[in-house]
Chain A
């Protein structure tokens, strides 16, 4: 009996999904060439996006660490590839969804790295928020929530210094903890940037939070009375 071997060509690398690319990356021990090609393709798909958002949003806090956005982009991909085996495509069912999932993951890694670079290692690793940041998908807030909308308005009432301090403090936020603590090194760097002391940075943060609270309380009371 004759048998035929059906040769199915391997799909071109640019046709592979992100999950498939990262799977190849994770198999670098068995095929370094394929892994390298997969890394290059994954990088080509997402580097421009990551560079763009990091440039827009973290250039200023990143400057506190003395590094450049380029460094953060490179290191983020390096970490993503080093942990490629942990990537899960989850229930992403189309190309757009998968792309966004990959980019959200890169964002979490970049955010974690940024926090790591800004602060002393011991202090940062003590944060459960950061420990889980690279793996967990935060629940997206609903922008339709009236309280969230009010909070956005409240943020707009802060001056640039207060908002900057809150923005950096957000990197060290620990869900569920009573007292959110800003690492000393980070407070010191912020102090240098804003020409003030560590203590004053903490006071600025506290004052900003109080402002937010007052704004919310006033508006929520008004909302309740209107209702």
Chain B
């Protein structure tokens, strides 16, 4: 081993210690805990969801969570257990199973075996569309031009709710390069569309359509309403560079018109329009009823509900283990999501509202 390598290792060791000492990391020794205790604000309150421990059974039947156990459990034992559990999972379709551990949002729904004696919990979305609406296929009072929406939205309220509304997610298309853009843009270089979605969050995706790539991309971030109202910024950049080749900045108010038709974005270098693209502003509140390692577990949870007015869906997520699949209602706007969540809570069960940022791919409709 060379001296340089030794030096580097010592440096890494020391950097880790310094990060610990600087209280940059989670305290993992008693000395660090002591310092952390002293630095906690006295007025810190637990959020509602953490006021008490939401108990769930240890995941004895959970294939994916076993994969996450440390290696000292024995790699071979885990492999054998995985095989047995996979077979068990297949059998569980065929016969009534014992309580199956399900996690996360539906903390109280952990025992997912349905009981024939329990009445289904009614969940009814009394959409704002029933009270007032201006756009969408489900909106009877929508004008001719706002009845059929390119965004696919079924119901958009007439006014954006500047207090309770948002955040929203953006779905953006690829850039259509203008004639001027063909001449002025370095089209042989990889180009990115960067969206300044909130005050401290910029997301970049490939700008031009790629063979086999999605032409519509749902950005993995949310934009608070205030940031949209202040001005949404979209920039065309060379990958890895921070300077913009062309840009567009405009305040965006999620009115019925915008929610229905989307945004027509023209990227300009200040003189010429170099490219155009469309973008949609979408509601992004999901009522998460439960998460689980396997879809059948979620379908069992769903049997405890009688859902009307909104289609339940199962999304695969980027999380592993017991949080891999999510049973959700949505996407909805915030007031509708809140109202549905309270219906669940009123029955002594639990549900979370998420923005679905870890959802992957298209959902599986389940009703």
Contacts and interface: CB of A to CB of B under 8 A. Distances in A.
A48 B46 contact: yes
Contacts of B26: 53-54, 57-58, 107-108, 110-111, 114
B50 interface: yes
Interface of A: 36, 39-40, 43-44, 47-49, 51-58, 65-67, 70-71, 73-74, 77-78, 81-82, 97, 100-101, 103-104, 107-108, 110-111, 114, 116-117, 121, 125, 130-134, 137-141, 143, 147-148, 151-152, 154-155, 163, 166-167, 170, 173, 175-178, 180, 192, 195-197, 200, 209, 212-213, 216
A73 B8 contact: no
Contact of B319 (A54, A67, A137, A173): A67
A155 B20 CA distance: 11
Interface stretch (B31-39, B81-89, B164-172, B255-263): B31-39
Interface string B24-54: 1111111111101101110010110110111
Nearest to B320: A121
Contacts of A139: 29
B240 interface: yes
B55 A209 contact: no
A140 to B, nearest CB: 4
Given A57-B25, A65-B358, A66-B319, A74 B107 contact: yes
B70 A125 contact: yes
Contacts of B104: 71, 74
A151 B5 contact: no
A58 B356 CA distance: 20
Contact of A121 (B9, B34, B68, B220): B68
Nearest to B107: A74
B24 A192 contact: no
B56 interface: yes
A100 B242 contact: no
B189 interface: no
